């Protein structure tokens, strides 16, 4: 009769959560979201904006162009999709 030992549970690292605007919804179950990042120039101090476009999994095809959405990083869903839609924060007017 052997004793059972509790193995430590694996701790999942916290996933990145970002907010951005939908720029394309032409694909099925996929939207393209523009993420804006503001950085201050190290020498001159000017605040510069950089935009990154990512593909996001939208299971219900609920998001439309111009919507402000919250997205979360996830496992690779396709060759280019690494994010999933968490919620739509604001619908486009």
Question: Mind listing the pLDDT tens digit for each residue in 2-40?
Answer: 556 666 677 778 999 999 999 999 999 999 999 999 999
Question: Mind listing the pLDDT tens digit for each residue in 66-91?
Answer: 999 999 999 999 999 999 999 999 99
Residue 93: predicted pLDDT: 86
Residue 65: predicted pLDDT: 97
Residue 19: predicted pLDDT: 97
Q: Report the candidate in 77, 78, 85, 69 with the shortest Cα–Cα distance to residue 35.
A: 69
Using alpha carbons only, give the angle 48, 49, 53 rounded to the nearest 5 degrees.
150
pLDDT band at 54 (very low <50, low <70, confident <90, very high): very high
């Amino acid at each position: 009769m052997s004793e059972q030992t509790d193995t430590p549970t694996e701790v999942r690292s916290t996933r990145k959560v970002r907010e951005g605007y939908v720029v394309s919804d032409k694909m099925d179950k996929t939207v393209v979201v523009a993420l804006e990042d503001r950085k201050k120039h190290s020498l001159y101090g000017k605040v510069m904006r950089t935009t990154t476009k990512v593909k996001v999994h939208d299971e219900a095809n609920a998001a439309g162009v111009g919507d402000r959405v919250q997205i979360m990083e996830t496992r690779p869903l396709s060759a280019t999709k690494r994010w999933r839609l968490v919620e739509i924060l604001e619908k486009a007017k």
